[in-house]
Amino acid sequence: MPGSLILDTVTRAVFHTIWVLSLYLLFAGHNAPGGGFVGGLVGGAALVLRYAGAGSDGVRQAVRLRPEALLGGGLLLAGATGLAPWLAGREFLSSASLDIAVPIVGEVHATSALPFDIGVYLVVVGLVLGALVTLGAEEEQEEA
Amino acid sequence: MLLALLGLHAVLAAAAPAVSRRLGRGVFAVCAVAPAATVAYALARAPAAFDGAPASETVAWAGRLGLDLQLRLDAFAVLMVLLVSGIGVLIFAYCAWYFGPRPDLGRFAATLLAFAGSMLGVVLADNVLVLYVFWELTTVTSYLLIGFDHEKGSARAAALQGLLVTAAGGLAMLAGLVVLGEAAGTYTLSAMLADPPAGGAATAGALLALGGAFTKSAQVPFHFWLAGAMAAPTPVSAYLHSATMVKAGVYLVARLAPAFALLGGWRELVVGVGVATMLLGGWRALRQHDLKLLLAYGTVSQLGFMMILLGAGVPEATRAGAVLLLAHGAFKAALFMVVGIVDHQAGTRDLRRLSGLGRRMPATFWVAVVAAASMAGLPPLFGFVAKEAAFEAYLHGGIGPIGPIALGGMALGSVLTFAYSARFVWGAFADKPDVARAGHDGAGAHAPPAAFLAPAALLAVVTVAIGVLPSFAAGLVNAAAAALDPAVEPGTLALWHGFNLALWLSALVIVAGVALFARRREVEHLQARLPSMVDAAQAYHGLVKGLNRGADRVTGLVQNGSLPVYLGTILLTVVALPLPALLSGGLPTPDGVVAESLLQLAVIGGVAVAAIGTVLARRRFAAVLFLGGVGYGVAILFVVQGAPDLALTQLLVETLSLVVFVLVLRHLPENFEVHHWRLGQAFRRAVAGLVGVFVFVFVLAAGQARTSPPVSEAYLAQALPEAGGRNVVNVILVDFRGFDTLGEITVLAVAALGIAGLVRARRRERGDEEPA
């Protein structure tokens, strides 16, 4: 991949910031714009930037996790969130929410939809990561 | 408890591979625990079941579909359980001696036990849908068992043949059971039979269900798969093809017959097919040289016999059928075990290469004699009692014209049965001078260890004991038959009925049978000369081949690999399907509003320009950028309309698709190809224009066609109180429509794996090394 030094340097600088934004969108999602899908896409965009700057090796360096692990873990988490209420005798995927007062942080609104959303997030990131690592590696090999 | 027993089968089957690594052949002893426990429980519950108080269990499953896990152990089920699990225990004991130490014993034991559990489920199920599920589980597990020697192509082909034939019949049966269930208003088997539906639908359903029973029980013209299934290891044949799987069809027919035998054509069909099967199986058995095939065709014949008795819905015949079920299970399993012993000790099952074994293994010989004599219907054995009862049942008459046909068929079939029983004993054990001269005198064959023979010997003892003291089994048989059909009057089973017509008929059968056996060479020659009129096996192969060829053609037509054709088909479908709705609803009336604000107008203008640019661009890269412009413009439109979530998603998806486009574009020429074929170009333009105009008009019309309040209002109202979230879009995704989302992310994951798989496959094609 004909990387670009400037792009790569800039990407390295903002890479983690984008991930913070991505995580923020994930957790804010239930009440404000965002959510697992959007958060995952923002994370994916970070990976794409990284790819444009340093190729699929750069992506692999940035995220050490295997895409299969993200995909499987995400599906498992989302599925388990659905199963949990079912095992407790309620309908599949029915949700529950809880307001907890956490010291210092303040009131935290926790819903069972969050782990499900995290599952969606992981799958989306896994998809982008997988595409960049496998498709990108293919491109580079053909050019080499 | 019934459910627990089924669970025990499943758990032990799952554990079997691990157990066999520890214990080797001891795995069979562990596996035998499940059927042994089942037999013990069935015996303990038998008195209550005989008194008409069957054990039953219900576990709710999908009640709205009429599908609950209902199990019931009535007297007939007790009889079947004793067959299935009782013989199962013996088979496991036999397996421990049959197999040498081999690495795949665990797999074998696991599959065999899974099969035993499935078969147990079939006879216990009191819900026709549950019955179907277990029924097909026996199909799948038997497929694995028949094809156990999976490195042999012939074994795989035989397994597939059995699977296709029985599963095809099973589908017909499923349809039949659903029709019956809907007609009866219940899917509970006992309730359906207590108050059977009548009428056209019920007739159709009952006849369809016969499709499953006939294929499973290898009735003409589906008998050929049973002969092929002899590719299985002999213990499998002894179990599946004598006592259990092939009896599933007989079991179903026996259950349904008292309720449905008088529906249009049922009795004639079942008895006719049964007679044909009994005769054809017996006739074919007389020309087999492989002892196992001889028994296989004998089994086909006996299954026909059972169909005649249990399928007619005649009370006396039903009772005789119950006797035959028991008797056949005992003698046929014993005979298959004997074949396995002969094969094991002498190294062949070909009766043209076996001689003198009777002298070398006398104990085995006597076990075979007893079992074969029972099969031939000789007194004082169990098989004789069964045959007498059968003749007795049809001698009474009063069944209509089908009665004499059944009686004649049974008598003729019994003659053939006698002849092939004799052929079996002679073929396996006799001193044959010509064979001995040819050097096959069985010199290497030693008598088997006592424990190897014990299961078969035990079955032979049972055959003699019940034959001499039939009252032993009378209680079980009477109760089982009464459970099938309340009209059955309890009778006694007796060896000696006096000099009645049935006895004379038996004597005639024996004389004719002896004569037929004495002329065995002529019979063989005659069979060799007679062309087999219709070869069902060939018909099957022709059908499968035709199906494959047809599928090839359809695939070639539909998936021709041309992207323009695919796209054109999709786009024209998009137009064609909603078009009637659009025309019937009336064309939209423009309301004169072009844009609601200046900002909106500006964005729309930008999108329009980008769209036109996309179409006009000559370079692919430019087209992709323009297309991206359209997408970003739409995202801005979402912002203007106050949908930040949509805008965010649109923006990100647009960006990622742009990247993917760029990745792909490098493989394509820089410019779009120029078409020299004018007509093709015009056609493409026409399709594109049509789709564009249609979508525009349709969206306008859809916006005006609202008749009920938009779903978004309900969602907006419910989001906070019910799901605890203020972002409605997200709440819809993760809560209201969470199931959809789960499906969508599954698709995403599968797509990602698919990409990885495709790329890896291409890499392997090019012979590149896998990157570490």
Please give the residue that has the higher pLDDT: either B596 or A124: A124
Q: Is residue B527 part of a domain?
A: no
* Chain A nearest-CA residue for B667: A139
Asked if residue B497 and residue B590 are part of one domain, the reply reads no
Asked if residue B91 and residue B155 are part of one domain, the reply reads yes
Q: Is 60 exceeded by the pLDDT of residue A1?
A: no
Query: What is the rounded average pLDDT of the residues A18-34?
Result: 88
Asked if residue B745 and residue B720 are part of one domain, the reply reads no
**Residue B753: its chain A contacts at CB < 8 A?**
68, 71, 130
DSSP string, B603-628: HHHHHHHHHHHHHH-SBHHHHHHHHH
Quick one: pLDDT at residue B771? 47
* Residue A109 bridge partners (DSSP): A99
The whole-angstrom distance between A38's CA and the closest CA on chain B is 6
Q: Which alpha helices (H) appear in B51-152, and where do they start and end?
A: 75-81, 87-98, 105-124, 128-146
- Give the residue numbers spanning the domain of B712: 563-725
> What's the helix, strand, coil split of chain B in %, to 5?
75, 5, 20
Q: What is the ipTM of this complex?
A: 0.86
pLDDT, block means (10 residues), chain B with 772 residues: 94 93 90 96 92 89 86 94 94 92 90 96 95 96 93 91 93 95 93 91 94 93 89 92 88 94 89 94 91 94 95 90 93 94 89 87 94 92 90 81 90 95 93 78 77 93 87 86 87 74 88 90 82 73 92 90 87 92 79 81 94 91 93 93 87 87 80 76 89 90 80 81 77 82 91 84 67 44
Q: Which of B645, B661, B730 to mutate to test the interface with A (most CBs of A within 10 A)?
A: B730
Q: Which amino acid is at B617?
A: A
Q: Which alpha helices (H) appear in B433-470, and where do they start and end?
A: 433-437, 450-468
* Omega within 30 of 0 (cis) for the link into B235: no
The whole-angstrom distance between A43's CA and the closest CA on chain B is 10
DSSP element (H, E) containing A110 = strand A106-111
* Tokens matching residue A140: 């580079």
Asked if residue B720 and residue B731 are part of one domain, the reply reads no
**Residue A25: its chain B contacts at CB < 8 A?**
648
Q: What are phi and psi of B725, to 5 degrees?
A: -135, 150
Cβ–Cβ contact A110 with B under 8 A: no
Quick one: pLDDT at residue A144? 53
The whole-angstrom distance between A104's CA and the closest CA on chain B is 23
**What residues contact residue B739 under an 8 Å CB cut-off, 6+ apart?**
A82, A92, A93
**Residue B726: its chain A contacts at CB < 8 A?**
30-32
Domain boundary among B450, B483, B518: B518
DSSP string, B150-218: TT-HHHHHHHHHHHHHHHHHHHHHHHHHHHHHHHHT--BHHHHHHS---SHHHHHHHHHHHHHHHHHTT
Quick one: pLDDT at residue B84? 94
Q: Is 70 exceeded by the pLDDT of residue A141?
A: no
DSSP element (H, E) containing A54 = helix A36-62
State the virtual CA torsion across B161, B163, B169, B173 in degrees, nearest 10. 180
Domain boundary among B486, B518, B550: B518
Cβ–Cβ contact A78 with B under 8 A: yes
Q: Is residue B539 part of a domain?
A: no
Q: Is there a contact between B384 and B506 (Cβ–Cβ < 8 Å)?
A: yes
What CATH code is carried by the domain that includes residue B608? 1.20.120
Asked if residue B739 and residue B713 are part of one domain, the reply reads no
Q: Is there a contact between B301 and B278 (Cβ–Cβ < 8 Å)?
A: yes
Cβ–Cβ contact A138 with B under 8 A: yes
**What residues contact residue B700 under an 8 Å CB cut-off, 6+ apart?**
B588, B590
Domain boundary among B518, B534, B552: B518
CA B504 distance to own-chain centroid: 43
* Tokens matching residue B56: 């039953």
Quick one: pLDDT at residue B681? 82
Q: Which residues of B437-451 are buried (b: 16+ CB within 10 A; e: fewer)?
A: eeebbbeebebbeee
State the virtual CA torsion across B675, B677, B683, B689 in degrees, nearest 10. 30
Asked if residue B590 and residue B499 are part of one domain, the reply reads no
Chain-chain contact of B727 with A34 (C-beta, under 8 angstroms)? yes
- Give the residue numbers spanning the domain of A115: 5-143
**Residue A82: its chain B contacts at CB < 8 A?**
738-739, 742
* Tokens matching residue B505: 């008929």
Task: Report how far residue B714's alpha carbon sits from residue B412's, in angstroms, rounded to the nearest whole number.
Answer: 76
Asked if residue B384 and residue B296 are part of one domain, the reply reads yes
Q: What is the pTM of this model?
A: 0.78
Quick one: pLDDT at residue A84? 82
Quick one: pLDDT at residue A125? 93
Q: Is 80 exceeded by the pLDDT of residue A3?
A: no
**Residue A33: its chain B contacts at CB < 8 A?**
644-645, 648, 727
Domain count, chain B: 3
Quick one: pLDDT at residue B613? 94
Asked if residue B762 and residue B711 are part of one domain, the reply reads no
Asked if residue B127 and residue B7 are part of one domain, the reply reads yes
Within chain A, what is the greatest distance between any pair of CA atoms?
57
Domain count, chain A: 1
Please give the residue that has the higher pLDDT: either B175 or A114: B175
Asked if residue B735 and residue B654 are part of one domain, the reply reads no
Please give the residue that has the higher pLDDT: either B324 or A60: B324
Residue B461 burial (C-beta neighbours within 10 Å; 0-12, 13-18, 19+): middle
**Residue B64: its chain A contacts at CB < 8 A?**
none
Q: Is 60 exceeded by the pLDDT of residue A108?
A: yes
Quick one: pLDDT at residue A112? 75
**Residue A30: its chain B contacts at CB < 8 A?**
724-727, 730-731, 734
Quick one: pLDDT at residue B433? 84
Residue with tokens 């970003």: B632
Work out the end-to-end distance of chain A between its first and last CA atoms, rounded to an integer number of angstroms. 9
Of A31, A48, A128, the CB nearest to B727: A31
Asked if residue B630 and residue B673 are part of one domain, the reply reads yes
Of A31, A123, A137, the CB nearest to B771: A137
The whole-angstrom distance between B768's CA and the closest CA on chain A is 10
Asked if residue B421 and residue B302 are part of one domain, the reply reads yes
Quick one: pLDDT at residue B468? 83
Residue pairs spanning A and B at CB distance below 8 A: 144
Task: Report how far residue B137's alpha carbon sits from residue B434's, in angstroms, rounded to the nearest whole number.
Answer: 47
